[in-house]
Amino acid sequence: MSELHVLLIHGMTGSGPWHWQQWLAGQLREQGARVDLPTLPDPDRPVVQRWLPALREHLEAVPREAELVVAGHACGAALWLHHAATIAGRARRADRVLLVAPPAPDWQHPDAQDITPYPIDAAALRRAAGITRLVVGTGDPYLSMYRAHGLAEELQVEMDVILDGEHLNTDAGYGPWPSLLRWALYDSVPLNDRFGTDAYTTDRSQDRLRLA
């Protein structure tokens, strides 16, 4: 059985001590997985031209025989979309990727350079990873449900909607997130909220929304 290697990509300002990425890293290490949660250059001021090389350096450090799982939050999810669209299939391919609460394509922040707009390229996403999944929360101030459904449709990925999940960050209580641990270890879907209650899952059409 191949070794599990999990790469966690933080968003703007990084992952604080109570963030789900920190919790997940600790849980996975207890399970014997190798976990990489790097601090990207100047995390308070994300710049694609500085973040991308750092991301790729960490990807290339993963042994080829390892199972590579990637989970990016917010600007980290947007960074993966930049990565996928600009590698032409030449970089280390991930087995599974989870995009958690990316900002809307037209989101803007004075301290974020070129994070948005990000490329929306379904073919590139398939070249970059075997499976890509999107998880978003209702009430996210950076991504409306209308935009989230459109993004899932354009990327041709399945999407889990966490009711009242907001930005799926520390302020929203994420934190411990057991279903995300199960996804990282076993590819268990759908992603449920932090209490394990039902999520809505939509496949590649906005017309096909179902209670998972």
Domains in the chain: boundaries = 4-211
Q: How far apart are the first and last CA of the chain?
A: 30
Confidence (pLDDT) at 212: 38
Query: Is 69 exposed, middle or buried (CB count within 10 Å of its CB: 0-12, 13-18, 19+)?
Result: buried
| pLDDT band with cut points at 50, 70 and 90 for residue 98 | very high
Grade residue 6 by pLDDT with cuts at 50, 70 and 90: very high
Q: For residue 89, what pLDDT is reported?
A: 72
Q: In this structure, what token pair is assigned to residue 86?
A: 């600009």
Structure tokens at 179: 């279903």
Q: How would you classify the pairing of strands 4-9 and 34-36?
A: parallel
Supply the pLDDT for residue 197.
Answer: 82
The tokens 């354009």 sit on which residue? 154
Mean pLDDT for 99-103 is 98
Q: How far is CA 96 from CA 33, 132, 189, in A?
A: 15, 6, 12
**Adjacent-strand bridge partners of 148:** none
More confident residue, 75 or 210: 75
Cβ atoms < 10 Å from Cβ of 63: 12
pLDDT for 110-162, tens place per residue? 999 899 999 999 999 999 999 999 999 999 999 999 999 999 999 999 999 99
pLDDT above 70 coverage of the chain, percent:
95
Burial (CB < 10 A; 0-12, 13-18, 19+), residue 122, is middle
**Residue with token string 């948005």:** 116
pTM of the model: 0.93
Within the chain, how many helices (H) and strands (E) appear? 6, 8
- Output the CA torsion sign for 101, 105, 110, 114: positive
- By the 8 A CB rule, do 158 and 203 touch? yes
Pairing outcome for strands 67-73 and 4-9: parallel
Residues 116, 59: Cα–Cα separation, whole Å: 22
Topology classification of domain 4-211:
Rossmann fold (3.40.50)
Is the pLDDT reported for residue 209 higher than 50?
no
Q: Averaged over 187-196, what is the pLDDT? A: 94
pLDDT for res 203: 65
The model's pLDDT over 44-96, given as tens digits with 9 standing for 90+, comes to 999 999 999 999 999 999 999 999 999 999 999 999 999 999 997 778 899 99
pLDDT tens digit sequence for 15-38:
999 999 999 999 999 999 999 999
Question: What pLDDT shows up at residue 204?
Answer: 54
What tokens were used for 103? 């900002």
Q: Is the pLDDT of residue 207 over 50?
A: no
